[in-house]
Structure 1
Amino acid sequence: MRVHKLTFAALAVVASLSLTACNEEDLTGQGSPSAGSTVSPSAGGSDQGGEQDSAGKSSGGQGPVAGNGSDGNGEIGKCRTDDLDITAADGTIGGDTEGTVAVELKNGGGRDCVLSAYAGVDLETSSGTLSAERTGQQADTSVLKDGESTFFGVTYPINESGGSGVRVTALVVTPPDETKSFSLEWPGSATLPVSDGSGSPVKVGPIGSAGQGGES
């Protein structure tokens, strides 16, 4: 009888140890995530947020945006001599006490540009270079669109002295804020009266001060 009691006791101990091991295994399994439930960092919110940020910048138009001007920051550049088609025509009206030449500046540079103040004007004559003086009229800044023109006037005294006077050979125009000049044929009277040396008798108006027919 004693042998049977020891056997049952041993079996009870083994069963108890086996049950404890099973419980520990179950608890351990519940505490660790399975391979299927593991969250990969590449699929997490940080990377998705980065994609949204990138998309937001693209669709939201953030960042520098080029304007319609001559440079990438939206500003319109000044008109360069090489961008302008410069011509001149006689704008004198019968009965005027002074002669007038209307100078046309046409924008052919393929972009809008800015013109302001006064152009430089020189007359090449048989007595040397004669620089025109500014009239003193207010000079505004204006945008000259591609393909459009603006005008300014040059006035000069008519030679009524009866003498040969000073022969004009060329008109030299330097656009505002430029150093490169453009020489063209003088369309006004062939001669100017001899100056008394008290200042230039030739005057130049600001950009936009004359129309196609002469002074505005």
Structure 2
Amino acid sequence: MKSKLTAVALAGLVVAGTAAAAIPASAASAQAGPTRCHTADLKAGFATGGDAAPEMGQTAKQTQAFIWFTNQSKRTCTLSGFAGVDMVGTQKTDGTWSLARSSKKPVTMTLGQGDTVDFSITLLPVAKSTPEKEKFVPGEFLVTPPNETTHFTLRWPFGGQILKQDGATHPGTYLNPVGL
């Protein structure tokens, strides 16, 4: 009988200890930190300044374009992972190309009000003389922030064309995570 009473007394102490250590809901939310950024919290665009523009006129190597997200909300939020990027082509043979992701590991970026972060898209440009069926001519980019379902529609401002590899396992055109 003594062991049953000891067990009941210990159980009462554990329950009492747990109740005493509980954190009030208001304090728990204050300690939780920022939540993820939603599409409505952000604005987006292509980085177009001097050295940010991709070298679409050359065809000897890959080049990069950069897309930025700016937190336009009044709260701090986080972005982590890969944006979704679908390129919409201007030729009738282009269609829409959902870009593959690089093997780089994402990091969490914390954005205060007005803070900006970007990500890069690695592109493999081709010559204008490349046959239509082998090239993709970008017109618009549908850009969805990480973990969201609503996208921004951005017009491609740089001209040029990309080697069409929309079905390739390791295409020369792909995207990197936000912040890298």
Q: Computing the radius of gyration over CA atoms, which structure comes out larger, 1 or 2?
A: 1
**Closer/same/farther in 2, CA of residues 113 and 196 from structure 1, 3 Å limit:** closer
The two structures have a TM-score, normalised by structure 2, of 0.70
Query: What amino acid does structure 2 have at the position aligned with 1:166?
Result: F
Count of residues paired in the alignment:
145
Q: Distance in 1 between matches of 2:100 and 2:152?
A: 18
Among 114, 118, 139, the residue aligned to 1:151: 118
Aligned identity (percent) is 27
Aligned to 1:21: none
1:174 aligns with 2:144: yes
The superposition leaves residues 84-115 of structure 1 with CA deviations (integer Å, 9 ceiling, x where unpaired) of 01011353259771131110100001110011
1:134 aligns with 2:92: no
**Per residue, is there more helix in 1 or in 2?**
1
Matched residue SS, 2:36: coil
The superposition leaves residues 113-169 of structure 1 with CA deviations (integer Å, 9 ceiling, x where unpaired) of 011011111101131111111111111112111110001001111112623532211
Matched residue SS, 1:198: coil
Among 15, 28, 33, the residue aligned to 1:75: 33
Aligned to 1:13: none
**Unaligned stretches of 5+ in structure 2?**
1-22
Matched residue SS, 1:82: helix
Query: What amino acid does structure 1 have at the position aligned with 2:61?
Result: T
Query: What amino acid does structure 2 have at the position aligned with 1:118?
Result: F
Once the 2 structures are TM-superposed, how far is the Cα of residue 187 of structure 1 from its aligned partner?
2.6
Aligned to 1:116: 80
Once the 2 structures are TM-superposed, how far is the Cα of residue 190 of structure 1 from its aligned partner?
3.1
Query: Are 1:101 and 1:187, in contact at CA under 8 Å, matched by a contact in 2?
Result: no
Query: Are 2:127 and 2:161, in contact at CA under 8 Å, matched by a contact in 1?
Result: no
Aligned to 1:18: none
**Unaligned stretches of 5+ in structure 1?**
1-61, 210-216
- When the two chains are superposed, the root-mean-square deviation of aligned CA atoms in Å is 2.6
The superposition leaves residues 56-98 of structure 1 with CA deviations (integer Å, 9 ceiling, x where unpaired) of xxxxxx954468xxx6664322100011010113532597711
Q: Distance in 1 between matches of 2:85 and 2:149?
A: 12
Matched residue SS, 2:123: strand
Q: Distance in 2 between matches of 1:63 and 1:162?
A: 67
Higher relative contact order (CA 8 A, sep 6+): 2
**Closer/same/farther in 2, CA of residues 195 and 140 from structure 1, 3 Å limit:** closer
Q: Distance in 2 between matches of 1:176 and 1:197?
A: 23
1:85 aligns with 2:52: no
